[in-house]
Amino acid sequence: MAGKILIVDSVATNRIVLKVKLTGACYETIQGATGETALRLARSERPDLILLDVQLPDINGIDVCRRLRADPLLRTIPVVMLAASSDATTRIAALKAGADDFLAKPIDELLLLARLRSLLRARETDEELRLRESTCRALGFGESVTGFEPPARVALISSSRERAAGWRRALVPHLANVELAVMSRDEALAEAGGQAAPDGFIIDSNLSRAGDGLRLMSELRSRQASRHATVCIALEGALREAAAVALDLGASDLLPANLSRVEDAQEAALRLGAQLRRKAVADRQRSSVADGLRLAVTDPLTGLYNRRYALPHLARIADRARETGRQFAVMVLDLDRFKAVNDTWGHAAGDAVLVEIAARLTANLRDVDMVARIGGEEFLVAMPETTLEAARIAAERLCRLVEQDPVRLGDGITRISVTVSIGLAMGGGAALAPGVEALMGEADRALLGSKAFGRNKVTVSATAA
């Protein structure tokens, strides 16, 4: 399943229609008809996203959203408000209460699914950053940094400088601690190539040609300095297909291109402000993790995490799995006959092999997966929210990637053939799932099985199989 969605609507027919649409897109759904039920299910089921109707029989949906945002355990769950009409007053009230988006009924399936994909991608990134930051704190690093917050810088890029200047005039009264600058496409790319790229961009979907704004966004997403910037796409009218494409290509949010009405400007400012705050939090988390861990918990040879980081992080993955009821995978990998490499070609060659294998492992796993070096030639991989079948496929792929291409040494001539044995164990998914130490023991025993039965293979622990 792509994620768990809580649908909250007092009308059973509406819930059924949404369930059919979401199930067809491979989402798991749970349902509630009242505000109290929504709060209870949010706490017990920990959904990945909530679709919340404004009109509920007991508590107004906007008040439910406020209560979700006030709860430390629930405040990070994305909330999309639904309503029978899309009047500006209700939209603005929902956004002020902390809603991530507002959709009017009847729900457009194309836009709904594009918005869900966008919000769930952002949630996955946020959750991973929080998980890594909590690991840092457990190790004594990553203390919160407080102090002066410089103004966020936002570039306004439109088909004409006059139109972008109009955006600036409309937004300034509704934004605090934000600097808005009118830029051309080339000026924005030049800024993104420097060390101090803008924190955000509002880009007209159509610049000199139709779709130029989306191409510019893709350029900005590909550059290191602007990769994590807030990018809002300004759209003319109800261009549903263009809106869906923009979200799927990585737009943080969508804004109306015409901000002449005060209500539209206020809504655009609320959306932009929410995205800038999210970016500021994520930037602090990235900085905390990078600064706190770079020297203390990374292996100096391979650049991977070391055992000191890996085991506490694995414990937090296990904690999260217990909360969500989802599985995670643990692999222990060991290079076969590595002593022979050192004895034949020397320790410098052995180091080169370790560095290359570490790079291959990292390049062929997801960003959310953890790769660590926990011994001389031993590596650990942890894959959150993964099924046994997916983990087995990943492990077998790693075996092939190591075996099929010998490691080239710096002389450009010597090639060393290497293979790896893998033990795979599964955690989570059940109330009585094994603890981290027991899980590592299962993976170690499975690794011994791979070694005993010829090496260069994957063995799944008996409990996982």
Q: Which residues are catalytic?
A: 377
Contact status, residue 422 vs residue 448, Cβ threshold 8 Å: no
Burial 126-164 (b: 16+ CB within 10 A, else e): bbbbbbbbbbbeebebbeeeeeeeeebbbbbbbbeeebb
Alpha carbons within 13 A on the beta-carbon side of 190: 5
Residues 255, 368, 254, CA angle at the centre, nearest 5°? 5
Alpha-carbon torsion, ordered 455, 461, 462, 465, to 10 deg = -100
Contact status, residue 7 vs residue 30, Cβ threshold 8 Å: yes
Contact status, residue 309 vs residue 372, Cβ threshold 8 Å: yes
Instruction: With CA atoms as reference, report the closest residue to 395 among 417, 365, 368, 428.
Output: 365
- Name the DSSP class of 184: -
Contact status, residue 275 vs residue 283, Cβ threshold 8 Å: no
Q: How far is CA 225 from CA 74, 196, 236, 274, 286, in A?
A: 31, 7, 29, 21, 14
Close Cβ partners of 107 (under 8 Å, ≥ 6 residues apart)? 17, 18, 21, 82
- Whole-angstrom Cα distance, residue 33 to residue 52? 10
